[in-house]
Amino acid sequence: MEELSVKKEGILLVNKPSGYTSHDIVEIVRKKLKIRKVGHAGTLDPLAEGLLVILVGRYTKLFQKFSSLDKEYLGTMKLGETTTTGDSEGRIIKTRPFEDISEEKIKEVFFSFCGEIEQIPPMMSAKRIGGKRLYKLARRGIIIERPPKKVKIYEIKILNIQKPFVDFYVRCSKGTYIRKLVEDIGEKLGCGAHVTKIKRIAIGPFRLESAISLEDIDYSHLKDFSL
């Protein structure tokens, strides 16, 4: 009788470590909770860490609500190097000098991206075009045209500059690609850039501080949710 009272649906706020895909976390939750109906809202790249919202049971139907929430990130970019993936896991394909770019210029270019901007989704992303995941095409060496999409950068801050590295904070709308934002900033600076660290610290009202580790995943951490 005691097992019947165990809550088996809701949301889990998980602190995803770097090196795991979002699907990896879903599989871990499925095995630990012994339930198949599990999904996630808002993909994090394997390089990225931080808040991942896991939907369990009937709460998987809330995917659209979660995907529409704003996101907040901390990140680090490296100036002077462009990679195949837009992050440090890719192969360096171009290097350019950055030493003479002033901190004032870096700040000016960063802040110019605040507001509504257009982004071309990167090939190394989970976005579907024609029913196919872009990253799966990219791994086969296939590059296709991607229409630009409008996203919004509500707030952007530089936290520290120690060239070639720049630490930053971004609050943005759904569908914003931080790697692409960094690449575009690097191109506008004229030196190129890629991401070395990404940490998602918030999704809507949910904060990373409330997330649990992979080791702590169990039914007791399932939460109710309503908007």
Q: Tell which CATH classification among 1.10.357.10, 3.40.50.150, 3.40.190.10, 3.30.2350.10 matches the domain 3-68+204-221.
A: 3.30.2350.10
Residue 135's pLDDT band, with cuts at 50, 70 and 90, is low
Q: Is residue 28 within 8 Å of 14, Cβ to Cβ?
A: no
Residue 81 has, within 13 A of its CA and on its CB side, a CA count of: 18
What average pLDDT does the structure give for the chain? 88
pTM over 0.75: yes
Per-residue pLDDT at 227:
46
Name residue, tokens 């009788």: 1
Lowest-pLDDT choice from 51-65, 118-132, 178-192: 118-132
| Interval 3-18 mean pLDDT | 80
Distance of alpha carbon 143 from alpha carbon 146, whole angstroms: 9
pLDDT band at 197 (very low <50, low <70, confident <90, very high): very high
Read off the pLDDT of each residue in 57-73 and give the average, rounded to a whole number.
Answer: 90
pLDDT digits (tens, 9 = 90+) for 105-114: 999 999 999 9
pLDDT for 6:
56
Q: What is the CA radius of gyration of the chain?
A: 19
- Give the residue extent of every domain in the chain: 3-68+204-221, 71-203
Domain 71-203 matching CATH 3.30.2350.10: the answer reads yes
Mean predicted confidence (pLDDT) in 108-133: 79
- pLDDT tens-digit series, residues 140-169: 666 666 778 899 999 999 999 999 999 999
The set of catalytic residues is 45
User: What pLDDT digit, counting tens, does each position of 93-109 carry?
Assistant: 999 999 999 999 999 99
Q: One fold for both 3-68+204-221 and 71-203? A: yes
- The phi and psi torsions of 82 (rounded to 5 degrees) equal -110, 135
Q: How confident is the model at residue 121 (pLDDT cuts 50, 70, 90)?
A: confident
SS3 of 50-76: the string is: EEEEEEEHHHHHHHHHHHCCCEEEEEE
